[in-house]
Chain A
């Protein structure tokens, strides 16, 4: 770790940053404030206004204010936590986990606390996070800013719903934001991709669990229509439900799926010998990818073979299997920097949602992807419950499909554009926390309540201090240059 340099009042260093997909790098001044007050000073007096400057990277550099945005653990796939030429506020030191209320499960945590750290504290006491995405390595601030969802969305909604209040540092001051007290600021922040401020503290309502094991039912299906039918018929009986879909393979294999559904195991489900240690804590990563894999390693053949292997090693039908929590929720957290497996050019994750009556569009999308020949790892299919009120919150009631594509196939940009058209055409949308390439014209089509975010931004950030590569690329303020 390099020592902090400092000039003016902005400490930090010039760093090249990307999202988890490792595409579109941009350089910014990365600074790690010690406390919320420092965040406040940073946003309230942007360096230019204060008469100081962000230290220039080269003698030729012009000194201009180019925005600021918060960054947690950098797990957004695209450019949401980058701010080319500006300031990126690393929330790593906004830590702290308060006591857990034994009655309500409410806990106060710093915005930079990861779900991994929180679980390390809460799980031994029998409390689990209300919404868990595919990785524990996200911060609470990021979870609110992306209004993340998990396998329980059909029952429990997305993350911000379980946050009664948070502290938001904005360029015009610090707000204690209550879900009921200031709903417009609260919900503009939930899914607002950091464009309303920096979440420095939040209260989260945890859920009680008796063990850190899961009881899981698994079923294999040869056709996409069948797995969707099974999900519609009986998802309601499970707290967690998700299907893995093969979007490659020959026409015979296209759409074959593995459906896993379950709930937290009660203590009574554990074998007698293990009941004493019912709540072991998931460990950090034990393997690490040391360097980017050579480009082209993940091609149609290797990815297809992996998908086939994944399908065949899953049981055709299995009920009530006891599984560790981490393999059910966070299968990739055991491998640090797994994104390097995609090689030097990185990858794109694409996730969309369409309404419950548009299941046929999901089948069309899978057919388009299969026909294109672009290699995609096992796709994740899930049924969302009703969406929450955030104008930029991603989930809508219906079907969501998420896929990873390595960058490389020439057909990929146009394939994704065609998928966008399909999705937008039936009133669906793509997930901004994963986006890195959406056609900007489609943003207001997919998020028709974008104006509500703009109104809140004019209130808390009239000078547009908060900007990200994502907000400029998509023209979230109505101007593509972001100036």
Chain B
């Protein structure tokens, strides 16, 4: 069950080997979380993440392997995760995503389709499946990791940005659709996060660490805020940036 601060006891993570997801899992285990199901693509990385979750204090840790290009089985994956968690789940964290290589991918229709599938179609299908289950439970929370890259897309990463924009919009729509059902849906919009996915990239202004994202998610559990910005001031920065003329936006560094 979620407690008065929205802190979960049972957690399912789709994309459980992401560094940001691991930081979030760690911070929730430090609170009330005792059962964790980690779902991901790679068995070896999942096993490592599961060991770290156990070491952090989780009592039950299960892993589920899935392929985010396989949209047909998105619902089946969610079902396996719920079963592995013992039937009831307090929080579903969605951290599935692929940053890709914009220059290489944008010239190849197949790669474009794959990016959109992994970053939008599969997560959206999985979130929809999870929402139905939480609704029948009468309570639960879905937290979807989006990105400021989807708030206003840039030349440098618009494939990733466009997919995140789609998932972000889907999630906010779902938050409206689940009002009054006991299910809470939140989207997290980090700015630049220093992780292995961004190694070699020049950090943008207001770069955050995975731990910053984890803290924002943990605190966000105690609120009904549909959108969580990390760091919070990015909300105001993007309020301004959204109105920049395209000619200026194009020239901004980062």
Contact = CB atoms under 8 A, between A and B. Distances in A.
Nearest to A470: B1
A483 interface: yes
Contact of A437 (B4, B34, B88): B4
B186 interface: no
Nearest to A64: B136
Interface in A67-84: 78-79, 83-84
15 contacts: A16-B180, A16-B181, A23-B4, A24-B4, A24-B139, A27-B138, A27-B139, A27-B180, A61-B132, A64-B136, A440-B32, A473-B1, A481-B86, A483-B86, A483-B88
Nearest to B184: A25
B136 A348 contact: no
Contacts of B180: 16, 27
Nearest to A63: B136
Contacts of A472: 1, 88
A483 B87 contact: yes
Interface stretch (B109-117, B217-225, B230-238): B217-225
A183 interface: no
Contacts of A58: 132, 135-136, 181
Interface in B101-144: 129, 132-133, 135-139
A436 B87 contact: no
Contact of B137 (A63, A85, A346): A85
B88 A481 contact: yes
Nearest to A481: B86
A482 to B, nearest CB: 7
Contacts of B157: none
Interface in A460-483: 469, 472-473, 480-483
A345 B85 CA distance: 28
Contacts of A16: 180-182
A60 B34 contact: no
Interface stretch (B6-14, B45-53, B195-203): B6-14
Interface of B: 1-7, 9-10, 31-32, 34-35, 85-88, 129, 132-133, 135-139, 180-182, 219, 222-224
B223 A345 contact: yes
Interface residues of A, number: 43
A229 interface: no
A56 interface: yes
A345 B6 CA distance: 11
A413 B7 contact: yes
Contacts of A84: 1, 137-139, 182
Given A16-B182, A407-B222, A482-B88, A26 B138 contact: yes
Interface of A is mostly: loop
Interface of B is mostly: loop
Interface centre among A16, A63, A346 (most CB of B within 10 A): A16
What are the 10 A-B residue pairs with the smallest beta carbon separation, nearest first?
A: A60-B132, A85-B138, A84-B138, A436-B4, A61-B136, A27-B182, A473-B1, A23-B4, A26-B139, A27-B138
Nearest to B89: A481
Nearest to B128: A60
A283 interface: no
B182 A26 contact: yes
Given A24-B4, A27-B135, A79-B1, 6 more contacts: A21-B4, A27-B138, A61-B135, A85-B137, A407-B5, A473-B3
A149 interface: no
B224 to A, nearest CB: 7
Nearest to A295: B223
A344 B224 CA distance: 9
B175 to A, nearest CB: 15
A439 interface: yes
Nearest to A441: B34
A425 interface: no
B4 A86 contact: no
Contacts of A345: 222-224
A382 interface: no
Contact of A24 (B3, B85, B181): B3
Given A27-B182, A481-B86, A481-B87, A56 B136 contact: yes
Interface in A24-55: 24-28
Contacts of B88: 472, 481-483
Nearest to A474: B1
Contact of B9 (A23, A26, A86, A480): A480
Contacts of B2: 24
Given A16-B180, A16-B181, A481-B86, A85 B136 contact: yes
Interface centre among A24, A78, A483 (most CB of B within 10 A): A24
Contacts of B86: 481, 483
Given A473-B9, A480-B9, A57 B4 contact: no
B19 to A, nearest CB: 24
A267 to B, nearest CB: 46
A62 interface: yes
Contacts of A344: 224
Contacts of A483: 86-88
A60 B3 contact: no
Interface string A1-34: 0000000000000001000010111111000000
Nearest to B3: A437
A58 B137 CA distance: 11
B246 to A, nearest CB: 37
A276 interface: no
Interface in A388-447: 407-408, 410, 412-413, 436-437, 439-440
A24 B136 contact: no
Contacts of B34: 440, 480
A77 to B, nearest CB: 9
A264 interface: no
Nearest to B140: A84
A66 interface: yes
Contacts of B137: 66, 84-85
